Amino acid sequence: MSTYMWNTFCPTLFGTGAARETGTKAKELGMNRVMVCTEKALCEFKVATQVIDALKEAGLEVFVFDKCKADAPSDICDEGAEFVRNHEIDGIVAVGGGSTLDTAKAVCIIISQNGTTIRDYYSIEEDAHEMKLITLNTTSGTGSELSQWAVIGDVETGRKEMPVYKPDMAIVDPALTYSVPAGTTAATGMDVLAHCVEAITNRNYNPYGYIFGKEGIRLTMKWLPVAVKEPENKVAREQMSLAANLGGMAISACGCQIGHSFAQTFGAMNHIPHGLGCAWGLPGVMTYTAKYGERSNLEIVAEAMDVSWDDNTSTMELADMLAGKVIELMRQLKIKSIKDQGYTLEDCLKSADIFVYDGAFGNSPGNPGMKEITDYIEYTYSIY
Ligand SMILES: [Fe+2]
């Protein structure tokens, strides 16, 4: 075994009703004047309001910044930092989906660097941590509540950038996900599956990818269809919250690979929800890994997905079975295909040139050049 680094994960309070403890936890971290970084809809639908109430009950002063939106646009991050300064904020509580939590991380980076725009700090590796951050995820998907990456959409280049800031605490309350609609539950759940599979199959794979990723796959295959069909099913929501958290740990330990590169390049160019892009990109991860990665990693995925093989099964046959299993799940969840969404192969191929700028791309096995990327995109487009 070669040497490897693994991440020390952020303290996580997990369980139904955990959000009620946000005020106590914020106080323990020394917060007094808190910015709640969230989305308008989460205030309207009384999701963020539960957290705001908990903070106020604990005696904290609360200032709501509700401008977060999909893709964490860089200009919103900059606005958030200005809001922090204008209100003399000393702690941030982020409540929302992955983009909202990433926006909050970006705000923390700008403040910690004493800067004005996140655009100056895309390659930052967290050399300063001057703002305490608590994250509460309202979807079971990105694992952003505990991961170190802030995936930011640059408003000028259109690229996804990934500076680093670790939250001080994650609060995972499955009850916050009850009102997520079926389509979003399905797409964000596919993001979980993609994290777990890509962590296990990429070139940085290590035992933590195995532990977290394998269990994350097992839970997602079992509970995602239930959570989509029965949004109020408490067990399904709890198990998917756990799966998402495990997926976040798996990618914190190992990273993702080419599937996320597709989701983050083609997705950014066309404003496609991250989970949907990850779902489309996942079957191709199996066949790409069969060509350039380790068969043993695909066997781990197969065990977790309950796919059988034997010594006579070729590596590509195994990958085809795994891709088929993913496609079967996507059909069950009624996830639309790239074609159904109106995109052509030519549209997809336009993203090939910018794969190399994606943060996950370097983790892909092999040494992918333009031919390998083009083959991957053509397969991805044709298979579903
Ligand atoms: Fe993801």
Q: What is the pLDDT of residues 191-227, one digit of tens each?
A: 999 999 999 999 999 999 999 999 999 999 999 999 9
pLDDT digits (tens, 9 = 90+) for 354-379: 999 888 999 999 989 999 999 999 99
84, 123, 294, 368 alpha-carbon torsion, rounded to 10°? 130
The burial class, CB within 10 Å (0-12 / 13-18 / 19+), for 123 is exposed
Q: Do both 17 and 159 map to the same domain?
A: yes
pLDDT interval class at 10 (50, 70, 90):
confident
- Say what the pLDDT of residue 16 is: 94
12 strand-pairing partners: 170
195 C-alpha to ligand 1 centroid (Å)? 6
Domain count along the chain: 2
- Say what the pLDDT of residue 1 is: 53
59 C-alpha to ligand 1 centroid (Å)? 36
* Owning domain of residue 157: 12-177
Please check whether residue 207 lies inside any domain of the structure: yes
Helix (H) or strand (E) holding 76: helix 74-86
137 C-alpha to ligand 1 centroid (Å)? 14
- Say what the pLDDT of residue 243 is: 97
- Provide mean pLDDT across the span 319-323: 98
55 C-alpha to ligand 1 centroid (Å)? 29
Among 177, 211, 245, identify where a domain stops: 177
Q: How far apart are CA 268 and CA 270, in angstroms?
A: 5
Tokens of 344: 């052509």
Residue 6 pLDDT > 80: no
Q: Do both 270 and 204 map to the same domain?
A: yes
Tokens of 73: 């646009």
259 C-alpha to ligand 1 centroid (Å)? 9
CATH of the domain at 165: 3.40.50.1970
76 C-alpha to ligand 1 centroid (Å)? 21
Please check whether residue 3 lies inside any domain of the structure: no
pLDDT over 90 for what percent of the chain? 90
302 C-alpha to ligand 1 centroid (Å)? 21
pTM listed for this prediction: 0.93
